[in-house]
Chains A and B, each alone.
Chain A
Amino acid sequence: MSRPPDTGTSLAAEAARARKRRRERSRRVTRHALLIAWTGFIAFPIFWMISTSFKDAGEWVAWPPHWLPHAPTLHNYAQIFAFGALDPTLSRQATEQAFTIWKGLGDAVLVCTSASLFALLLGTFLAYAISRFNVGGKYFRHTILMIRMIPPIVVAISILIYYAIIVPYVTSALFGVRISLFDTYVGLVLIYTVTTLPFVIWMMLTFIDEVPYTLEHAARLMGAGRVTVIRRVVLPLVASGMVVTFLFVFILNWAEFLLALTLTHPEVTTLTVLLNKFQSASEGRLYGPQAAIGTVVTIPVVILGLLIQKHLVKGFSFGTIRK
């Protein structure tokens, strides 16, 4: 039995390995090229907004466009963050509308925080009841999911009729005063709470299902009451989950546009509605201040979102994918 010469095989193997290494490297290069291309596609609109927010009026729609502001200015930020009456030096033309972000920011923070808190409170306890006692029957989880999938415009129309016509009609008939929920904080918070409840319930279900029931059982055997068990055993274990859920729902409410647009005007103005106001021609498009508002609106949610990055998929997929 003759063996093939050693040198031959090692040379061939060497060549094969080199070829493989080269292929590996070219594959890696193409992979990174593709991924960097997509990064560029993602970064560009954001970059453009931030760049525009530092441009003065003449540069907003200059041709050819300025990629970086030639004369960077904080004018746009000064304009949206101005206090009290607008400083005449801040408006560029006599016709320019004075507008600041304060009202929108305040309303958005107020509405989003309270709606998210209500939804979190109700949703957590319902999720607990569903997880532990199967409240509402076998298909209750799915019914909740279906509510979430109703197009918001359908909800908006019925809520508009309800808030603006039926509630005043009924209250004037019963109490003699017309109370309208249209364009009120209560009205907006109520509908935000209801529309985000399904998210809270589904996210909290994934967290509560992970708390072993034996733990509660042990506490009960040691004589703790129902309420004590929840307060001392369950809540501490799902506290971080509650924070994540709160942030997720807060981001959803913060980004909500359709319901805010349709159910409020002109009293309550959230940031999304404020931004849209200056898109329509009637108010005159102020690209620079708009970009500044966009930047201010975006930064906090991106930070919050990155904080709960790991859980985002859980929230968006209703816990169908756990990570």
Chain B
Amino acid sequence: MRWLASERVFRLIPFVLVEALFVVAILVPFALTIWISLLKWRANRPFETARFSGLENYEAVLSSDQFWLALGRTFYFAGVAVAIELVVGFMLAMLVSRCTRSRKLYTTVFLIPMMIVPIVVGYNFSMIYVDSGPLNQLLAPFLDRLGIDPRIRWLSHPVAAQWAIIIADVWQWTSLTFLIFLSGFAALPPQLINAARVMGATPWQIFWRIELPLLKPAIVIAIIIRSMEALKLFDPVVLLTFGGPGTSTQTVAYFLWEQVWVFNKFSFGAAASILLLIIFSLLIFMGVYMLVSHRRAVEGATS
């Protein structure tokens, strides 16, 4: 066993283990997915009957309106939800960072949504949006005056259902942007702000000229992390709308799930997932690059 502890071998043991795991569980399945995507085959037929079909599946995906619409919808949801989360999270962090005594209490409360299982969040909102739910009761006085039956089925209306999903996402993930911005505010150097105040800067100037530029790395990090996660949107869609009404809330993850697990179109799903990965990989690459460079900026500022 002595050779295991020797300098050269020792450092490679965990590396080799983890790499082997990644190869077995990510790389091999991935290579197989590429191969499956080149076959003409449905899951309800035996695998042996599959035959090579070239890029047919890729053509099918690229010419499928559903795929592009789902992709566009995913970006739309992510864009709107992340924008709201950033603005609200920033404002909450700013307000809480001005508090003194109640600061800890607010922080703890605002963190809770992040820890709640997304599927439970979906369930909770499905209860709130239900036609005889509390949301309609709160709106009832206004709706009655307008002569509308207050028992609205929010999730049956395409646009309302989209906003229902966005609101559920905002409810849960504003806590993360809040947390990121709060630590950003905590790291602001007080000497700089005091100096500016002494020199007669207005609060407005202090905010735009000093605080905001110093918070830029935190903002970039929040944007990247939240957008990467928001583009994976799946759980609330399943819980709230099943992609409906029609296809108005189908995100790309839901679309692929339906194609493979409901319609058994394996080759189509494989081709679509490869295309999705290609489309996303540019984003992922950019995201990681920016994360890492801003991480360096944050470290340089604090150390």
Contact = CB atoms under 8 A, between A and B. Distances in A.
A166 B31 CA distance: 12
Contacts of B148: none
B265 to A, nearest CB: 11
A312 B124 contact: no
B49 interface: no
Interface stretch (A73-81, A92-100, A120-128, A233-241): A120-128
A41 interface: yes
Contacts, number: 274
B195 interface: no
B218 interface: yes
Interface string A274-316: 0110011000000100110010011001101110010011001
A35 B106 contact: yes
A49 B120 contact: yes
B77 interface: no
A162 B21 CA distance: 14
A232 B90 CA distance: 43
Interface string A122-164: 1101101100110110000110011101111111111111100
Interface stretch (B58-66, B155-163, B231-239): B231-239
Helix, strand, loop or mixed for chain A's interface?
helix
A57 to B, nearest CB: 14
B119 A312 contact: no
Interface in A232-289: 251, 254-255, 257-258, 261-262, 271-272, 275-276, 279-280, 287
Interface residues of A, number: 96
Interface in B82-118: 88, 91-92, 95-96, 98-99, 102, 106-118
A146 B280 CA distance: 11
B288 A146 contact: yes
Contact of A298 (B120, B256, B269, B294): B120
A191 interface: yes
Interface in A26-66: 31-32, 34-35, 38-39, 41-46, 48-49, 52, 61-65
B246 interface: no
Contacts of A46: 112, 116, 124
Interface in B249-303: 252-253, 256-257, 260-261, 266, 269-270, 273, 276-277, 280-281, 284-285, 287-289, 291-292, 294-295, 298, 302
Contact of A32 (B102, B130, B294): B102
B125 A45 contact: yes
B143 interface: no
Nearest to B133: A65
Interface string B15-38: 101110110011011101100100
Contacts of B234: 152-153, 257-258
B256 A157 contact: yes
Contacts of B273: 153-154, 157-158
A271 to B, nearest CB: 8
Contact of A275 (B116, B123, B261): B123
B180 interface: yes
A158 B35 CA distance: 10
A321 B28 CA distance: 34
